[in-house]
Amino acid sequence: MRDKIWLSSPHMGGAEQKFVQQAFDANWVAPLGPNVNGFEEDLKVYLGEEVHVGALSSGTAALHLGLVLLGVQAGDEVICQTMTFSASANPIRYLGAIPVFVDSEETTWNLCPIALEEAITDRIAKGIKPKAIIAVHLYGMPYQVDEVHAVANKYNIPILEDSAEALGSTYKGKKCGTFGAIAALSFNGNKIITTSGGGALVAHTQEVKDRAVFLSTQARDAAPHYQHSEIGYNYRMSNICAGIGRGQMEVLDKHIGYRRNMHDFYINLFAEIPGVTVFKESSGDYFSNHWLSAITINAEEANGKTAEGLRLHLEQVNIESRPLWKPMHLQPVFAEFPYYGRTVAKDLFETGLCLPSGSNLNDSDRKHIAEHVHQFFK
């Protein structure tokens, strides 16, 4: 049998081992060093705005520290896009705060500005003003930045931008990761670039970045002994991992090109198949890195074919595909928390599928995928 075709697997560019070797040669085998500083600088230059980047151990750590920096405390309420990976919402609970989940809209699959405003006004009417809003660029697709930020600004609530899936995506020419009061990036193994595991916090002032780094290194006061005036975390990125990141930055835009080619491949593949819609940018304002290509299937129009049917069919021939993120308000662990909106996220979950999207897939992989997709729908 041929090798498994993965949804999204690591794809090295070539220079990663050189940076890792440099770390070994200089004995910077620690959670600080030239690669950490270099990787932060690379990200700052890439994001192309006046931002300050702190490299951390994961995207989850960046979201957790982001909430801490926005002043979220136990008992506070934090609005979170319901359709996302659990890592967007878990840090709210780490802090003992209350998640309030909000539905998606149909064009970007991200935070619905109308449901967002309903949630904010209702929470305020109930006596608690939400402390922060977590907005996500799912699968690399920018959320409706102007509309969502207009609502947030109207009520003066900061946005924590979860850009874990959207490094290299832009909205109106501006990079994702630069819109929120604070943003989080992820370099997990399946993301657009990887450090094997890692993340970054994007801030708009040196002061906020420094504070994030301080908290991520156990909040040590300036003293010869170990002295602490606040609770710290062990969230800094390793200099070894950062070396991988520096190598990956050299190929990021090339790999985004490959992912976008995969997306074009699916647009063509499904053009003639009734009932299947490929998730795509709704206008020229949106540029997705197409981290994952996804489809929805209308079973009625597709002669009874379903997303789950396609998933099982592909699994049999060693092609990985996966349902869309299951909304957080439908997860057992978050069932007790408030939810605002309709059934957009739920309907997407029930009809959608993510398809192999890696930058390292080749013509033979695409041929194999096309063959079995055709077989399933015939």
Ligand X SMILES: *Cc1c(COP(=O)(O)O)cnc(C)c1O
Shortest approach of ligand X to residue 199 CB, angstroms?
4
Q: Which is nearer to ligand X, 196 or 277 (CB)?
A: 196
Region near ligand X per CB under 6 A, out of 40-48, 53-61, 237-245, 351-359: 53-61
- 81 near ligand X, rule: CB under 6 A: no
Site for ligand X contains 58 (CB under 6 A): yes
* Near ligand X in 241-300, by CB under 6 A: none
Instruction: Examine residue 177 and tell whether it contacts ligand X (CB under 6 A).
Output: no
**Residue 88 CB, nearest approach to ligand X (Å):** 5
- 159 touches ligand X by CB under 6 A: no
Closer to ligand X by CB, 35 or 60: give it: 60
Residue 233 binds ligand X, judged by CB under 6 A: no
Among 87, 135, 141, 324, binds ligand X (CB under 6 A): 87
| Residue whose CB is less far from ligand X, 104 or 188 | 188
195/197 Cα distance (integer angstroms): 5
Contact assessment for residue 351 and residue 359, using Cβ atoms and an 8 Å cutoff: no
Among 8, 35, 82, 88, binds ligand X (CB under 6 A): 88
Residue from 77, 105, 117, 165 in contact with ligand X (CB under 6 A): 165
Q: Look up residue 328 and give its DSSP letter.
A: G
Q: Please give the radius of gyration of the chain, using alpha carbons only, rounded to the nearest integer.
A: 21
Query: Long-range contacts made by residues 327-334, C-beta under 8 angstroms, separation at least 24?
Result: 327/82, 327/83, 327/101, 328/80, 328/82, 328/83, 328/84, 328/86, 328/88, 328/89, 328/99, 328/101, 329/82, 329/101, 330/82, 331/86, 333/86, 334/89, 334/99, 334/101
- Tell me the closest approach of the beta carbon of residue 328 to ligand X, in angstroms: 11
Phi-psi domain of 140 (left: phi exceeds 0; alpha: psi -120 through 50; beta: other)? left
Q: How many residues bind ligand X (CB under 6 A)?
A: 14
- Give me the least distance between CB of 190 and ligand X, in Å please: 8
Sheet containing 199-203: give its strands across.
Answer: 52-56, 199-203, 182-186, 159-162, 132-136, 77-81, 98-102, 339-340
For ligand X, which residue has the nearest CB?
59
Nearer to ligand X, 34 or 197 (CB): 197
Cβ 59 to ligand X shortest distance, Å: 3
Alpha helices in the chain (DSSP H): 16-25, 34-47, 59-69, 86-94, 113-125, 145-154, 206-216, 239-249, 252-270, 307-316, 344-351, 363-377
The footprint of ligand X (CB under 6 A) covers 58-60, 84-85, 87-88, 136, 162, 164-165, 186, 188, 199
